[in-house]
Chain A
Amino acid sequence: QVQLQQSGAELVKPGTSVKLSCKASGYTFTSNHMNWIKQTTGQGLEWIGIINPGSGGTSYNVKFKGKATLTVDKSSSTAFMQLSSLTPEDSAVYYCARLEYTTDRALFDYWGQGVMVTVSS
């Protein structure tokens, strides 16, 4: 069965960076693009960007350009998101979610469990 297993909670200091991981299993990793989503109480769900694991090609929400960098490691079927120059406004739960986008279906069909990032000195 398809699973997306995200790394554990992070407590990081302002100004630093953090790299989150999302390990995929149960399907061919390069067959589906991977999204990253931010969730906060105040802003709800925000789409950060998407990566094509096959080519490494990315597309970002302009709001997160320069903040988030998406990469993959095909050998371990893992997607990564690095968040840089962290501020308290980056404190949130971050999800990875697989995109199913075919002629018949368009949805985020599987989600990771989410990882809480807390930015605090």
Chain B
Amino acid sequence: QITLTQQAESLWVSPGEKVSITCRASQSLLYTDGKHYLSWYQQRPGQTTKALIYHASIRTDGVPTRFIGSGSGTEFTLSIEDVQPEDIALYYCLQTLKKPYTFGAGTKLELK
């Protein structure tokens, strides 16, 4: 199965700063259609899990432009520019290239 590694368990950030969360895959997530099957999710306490990014870099409807997905092959990044207090959450990457679908271990964004 494909392993996704999110090395940072926690990241501390102040409001207004930029933060980057990385996700490394054990094999390329590029499919023959030219798309990467990597998506990002946000979990906030008391709220349903929210999809942020799919195909590595495309924001889902309504996601603020400060959320930026990038990367290719096996290395992917979710960047949050101008972090807002409501961005304090758990963030996960997910690959849907091959079953079993697999998640990264998660990165907790915390306030300094």
A99 nearest CB neighbor, chain B only = B96
CB <8 Å contact, A107 and B39? yes
Indicate if the CB atoms of A46 and B103 lie closer than 8 Å: yes
Are B54 and A106 neighbours in the complex by a CB distance under 8 Å?
A: yes
What distance in Å separates the Cβ of B102 from its nearest Cβ neighbour in chain A? 7
Nearest chain-A residue to B58 (Cβ)? A105
* Interface residues as binary, A89-121 with B (CB distance below 8 Å gives 1, 0 otherwise): 000000101010101011111111110000000
Bound: A102/B20 CA distance, A? 28
Q: Tell me which of B35, B37, B100, B102 has the highest count of chain A C-beta atoms within 10 A of its own C-beta.
A: B100
- Checking B35, B41, B55, B100 against A108 with a beta-carbon cut-off of 8 angstroms, the contacting residue is B41
- Known contacts A44-B92, A45-B106, A95-B49, A108 near B99 by CB under 8 Å: no
Distance of A65 from chain B, by nearest CB (Å): 11
A112 CB contact (under 8 Å) in B41, B48, B105: B48
A59 on the B face (CB < 8 A): yes
Query: Which residues on the A side are within 8 Å of B103 (C-beta)?
Result: 37, 44-47
Contact B49 A111 (CB under 8 A): yes
Contact between B96 and A101, CB atoms less than 8 A apart = yes
| A52 beta carbon closer than 8 Å to chain B | no
SS class, residues of chain A in contact with chain B: strand
Q: Does B94 contact A (CB under 8 A)?
A: yes
Partner among A45, A105, A114 whose Cβ is within 8 Å of the Cβ of B54: A105
Are B39 and A106 neighbours in the complex by a CB distance under 8 Å? yes
Contact between A106 and B96 (Cβ–Cβ < 8 Å)?
Answer: yes
Q: Chain B residues near A114 (CB, 8 Å)? A: 48-49
A111 to B39, CA, bound (A): 14
Beyond A111-B48, A112-B48, is A106–B37 a contact (Cβ under 8 Å)? yes
Give every chain A residue within 8 A of B37 (Cβ-Cβ). Answer: 106
The answer, yes or no, to whether B68 is at the interface (CB within 8 Å) is no
CB-based closest 6 A-B pairs = A107-B54, A45-B103, A61-B100, A111-B49, A47-B101, A107-B39
A–B Cβ pairs within 8 angstroms, 13 of them: A44-B106, A45-B92, A46-B103, A47-B99, A47-B102, A59-B99, A62-B100, A63-B100, A105-B58, A107-B54, A108-B39, A109-B60, A112-B48
